[in-house]
Structure formats: C-alpha cells, structure tokens
C-alpha cells in the first residue's frame, strides 16, 4: 500500500463525488487522528509514528500548514473535539497518552490526562459538546469491546462508558455523531464487518444495532453535517483500498445508502467535518 | 388625567406605555436556525431560562441565556466532509 498526501472534500448535503482540496505536508496514513473547530481542521501523527500536527482551513481549498507538535511520536492515535479543544487519545509508543490543543491557536500540545491503557489503538471516536467517546480498538492483536469517554472541558482521565453490542471491533472502525447520537461503522472482528452501532452520548450504556454499511470494510473515515453520517474509503477486502462513500441519516436507524465516490481509493485517511463558508 | 396608565389604545392621557411583544416561548432551547433578528427574546418554558438572540446569521444563530446557557452552531461537524492522506 502506498501512502498518499492528497486532500479531497465532499458537500455532505449534496450526494456526489469528492473534489480535490489540496495536499498534506507529507504522504502518510492518518486514521482517526484529526479534529475540527468547523473553520479549522487539525490533522496529526498517523503512521509511521511522528508528532507533527498540521491544519487546513476547511472553507478554503489549499495545502496543509504546520500547526505544532504532539508531546510524543505516536502512531495509530485517535482524536475528539468540542470545537474549541482537540484531544488526542491512545496510540502506540506512549505511556497512557492524551494530549490536547486549542484548535484556534497554533502551537504544541499539552498533557490532558490518562486513558489507563497503554498502546490502545485503532478505536473509533464520536463526540457531543461535552463528551468525547473512544469506541473499540485493540491492544496488539487483542480487540476490545469497551467504550471510554472523557469530559473534554476538563483535563481528567478517561472513564468507562459501556460496551459495544457485537463485542470487540478493532482495526479502525469509523465514528461520527450528530451531537446526540454517536455511530460506529465497519471494522474487523476476525473478519471485516458491515455493521453500524449507535450510542446516546449523554447516557452511559452499551451500543445498539443501527443498520449496515453497503460493504464489509474497515479503516474508513467518517464525518457528519449533523444530519447525515458519511463513511468513505476503507479497505475491502483486506489490503484493497476502496473509494466508496456511504451515508446514513443519524437520527433514523437503517442501512446505509450510496453517496458517491472519493477521487482516490484510500484507507486510513483522516476524515473530518468542517464549514464550507 | 385619569390616574390609569393606558395601553395606547384608549384616550390620550398624557401618559403612555411602550408597546411591547411577549417573547416567544416553547418547551426547549431556541434552535440555531430560528433566524430571528438580534435582540429577539425567547423563553424555554421547561427550564424557565430567557434567551436573547445575539447573532442572527442565517442557520447559525447564537442565543445567550440569562442563566448562562449558550445555544450556538455545533462546530465539530459541518457542511463539508474532508479526507486527507491514507494509502492505496
């Protein structure tokens, strides 16, 4: 698999294909390591491991610009945001890592708290104004079914939220939310899955079946405009990147529908939501 | 002078009361797409909190509540989905 640096975008309200946006600072796999304030998207680390944070202005096409550094060189990290603060969770090569940035202000990350789990990687994230959730993932080859959460305005440790309905889902499922309901789609449970599960972010508890994606796939990116939840890219079968984009209406349980295609077949791409103006 | 402050619909008394409209009220916080003018008042009848519109940008209104609440567009999702990097 060859890493790519291309950035592309879709308009979520309008079904259709992706359009070129610009380029990252370097070609690399990113996965869930990205946050957004709506106006600014910050993308960090990825694979291979490094600490580089870079940002884009979501409404303005163009290349990424250096933002600052995470505290450690980390791979396979995920992130959540309340629009003001971006918090990076998990990842390899660090001891209980969580770092945060203020998205509006370029600079280096600061320590946030602990997740009490070293080398937890590959989980999906979703968020409300208050809570950021980290769902699934794995320690080495062992998948986990846990959902953890943090209160983003605090600097505290992660706390147990509940468990995934179908058990362990690892190898980078994708997550998004409408602020109230969080959804997690795809992943790997020993084989690729097409399942979508949901949680009510304000209420601790286990996830529940939502519906299915059009493909059994993992390593997709997910984004939302508050109404639609969009899942794009990924790999299906294993080691074959795809350009498929699916969507669901987050408020209504059901199966995904076809949205369009990415300009590039890609797996482990950063995928964030941002303003168009 | 009658000693009664009228509502501007009766005879002229020399004393008048400013005309005012009651705030809109409903059982939840105002939505960011109410698209009313700056200064519009709104009461959440469940919480009792009074909100005032401070930014009337279409679809992205900001409402400030007198009990400290703020209703504003959620900023961690948006109209545009953006993918970057990855591998193929």
The residues in A 95-124 lying below 8 A from B, measured between CB atoms, are none
Angle at B80 between CA A37 and CA A263, to 5 degrees: 125
Residue A45 contacts residue A88 (beta carbons within 8 Å): yes
> Which residues from B are below 8 Å from A21, CB to CB?
82, 84
Of A18, A28, A64, the CB nearest to B83: A18
pLDDT band of A95, cuts 50, 70, 90: low
In a domain, A139, yes or no: yes
In a domain, A274, yes or no: no
- Tell which phi-psi region holds residue A96, choosing left (phi > 0), alpha (psi between -120 and 50) or beta: left
User: Bridge-partner residues for B67, per DSSP?
Assistant: none
Specify the higher pLDDT residue, B7 or B76.
Answer: B76
b/e for A68-91, b at 16 or more Cβ within 10 A? Answer: bbbbbbbbbbbbbbbbebbbbbbb
Least confident of A25-29, A66-70, A125-129, B6-10: B6-10
pLDDT digits (tens, 9 = 90+) for A188-222: 999 999 999 999 999 999 999 999 999 999 999 99
Residue A109 contacts residue A121 (beta carbons within 8 Å): no
Specify the pLDDT at position A180: 93
Nearest to A179 by CA among A164, A201, A205: A201
**A234: number of CA atoms within 13 Å, CB side?**
30
Q: What is the mean pLDDT of residues A99-115?
A: 94
- CB contact (8 A) between residue A9 and residue B83: yes
Specify the pLDDT at position A237: 94
Structure tokens at B22: 């009651």
Least confident of A61-65, A163-167, B68-72: B68-72
> Which residues from A are below 8 Å from B77, CB to CB?
36, 38, 176-179, 223-226, 273
Portion of chain A with pLDDT greater than 90, in percent: 79
Specify the pLDDT at position B19: 53
CATH code assigned at A81: 2.120.10.80
In a domain, A75, yes or no: yes
Query: Domain count of chain A?
Result: 1
> Which residues from A are below 8 Å from B33, CB to CB?
none
> Which residues from B are below 8 Å from A58, CB to CB?
78, 80, 82
Specify the pLDDT at position B2: 44
In a domain, A84, yes or no: yes
Print the domain residue range for A45. 20-261
In a domain, A54, yes or no: yes
- CB contact (8 A) between residue A265 and residue B82: no
In a domain, A187, yes or no: yes
* Backbone φ, ψ for residue A103 (5° rounding): -60, -35
pLDDT band of A273, cuts 50, 70, 90: very high
Portion of chain A with pLDDT greater than 70, in percent: 99
Residue B10 pLDDT more than 50? no
Q: A10 touching B, CB under 8 A? A: yes
Alpha-carbon gap, residue A258 to A219, rounded angstroms: 18
Give ipTM to 2 decimals: 0.96
In a domain, A1, yes or no: no
In a domain, A7, yes or no: no
Specify the pLDDT at position A93: 63
Shortest alpha-carbon distance between residue B81 and chain A (Å): 5
Shortest alpha-carbon distance between residue B80 and chain A (Å): 5
pLDDT digits (tens, 9 = 90+) for A142-158: 889 999 999 999 999 99
Q: Is the pTM of this model over 0.90?
A: no
């Amino acid at each position: 698999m060859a890493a790519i640096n291309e950035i592309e975008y879709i308009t979520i309200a309008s079904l259709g294909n992706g359009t070129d946006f610009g380029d990252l600072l370097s070609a690399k796999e990113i996965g869930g390591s990205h946050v957004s304030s709506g106006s600014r998207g910050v993308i960090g680390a990825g694979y291979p491991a490094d600490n580089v944070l870079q940002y884009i202005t979501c409404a303005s096409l163009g290349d990424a610009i250096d933002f600052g550094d995470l505290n450690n060189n980390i791979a396979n990290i995920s992130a959540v945001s309340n629009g003001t603060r971006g918090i990076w969770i998990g990842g390899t090569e660090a001891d209980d890592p969580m770092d945060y940035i203020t998205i509006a202000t370029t600079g280096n990350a600061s320590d946030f708290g602990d997740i009490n789990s070293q080398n937890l990687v590959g989980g999906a994230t979703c968020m409300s104004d208050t809570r950021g959730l980290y769902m699934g993932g794995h320690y080495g080859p062992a998948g986990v079914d846990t959902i953890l959460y943090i209160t983003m305005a605090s600097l505290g440790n992660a706390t147990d939220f509940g468990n995934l309905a179908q058990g362990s889902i690892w190898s980078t499922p994708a997550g998004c939310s409408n602020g109230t309901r969080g959804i997690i789609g795809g992943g790997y449970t020993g084989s690729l899955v097409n399942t979508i599960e949901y949680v009510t972010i304000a209420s601790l508890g286990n996830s529940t079946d939502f519906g299915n994606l059009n493909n059994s796939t993992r390593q997709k990116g997910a984004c939302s405009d508050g109404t639609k939840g969009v899942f794009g890219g990924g790999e299906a079968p294993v080691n074959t990147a795809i350009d498929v984009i699916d969507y669901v209406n987050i408020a209504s349980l059901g199966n995904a529908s076809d949205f369009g295609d990415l300009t590039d077949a890609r797996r482990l791409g950063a995928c964030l939501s941002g303003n168009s103006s | 002078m009658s000693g009664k402050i009228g509502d501007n619909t009766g005879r002229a008394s020399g004393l008048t009361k400013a005309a005012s409209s009651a705030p809109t009220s409903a059982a939840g916080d105002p939505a960011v797409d109410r698209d009313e003018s700056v200064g519009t008042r709104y009461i959440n009848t469940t919480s009792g909190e009074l909100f005032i519109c401070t930014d009337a940008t279409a679809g992205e209104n900001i409402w400030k509540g007198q009990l400290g609440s703020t209703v504003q567009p959620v900023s961690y999702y948006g109209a545009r989905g953006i993918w970057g990097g990855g591998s193929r």
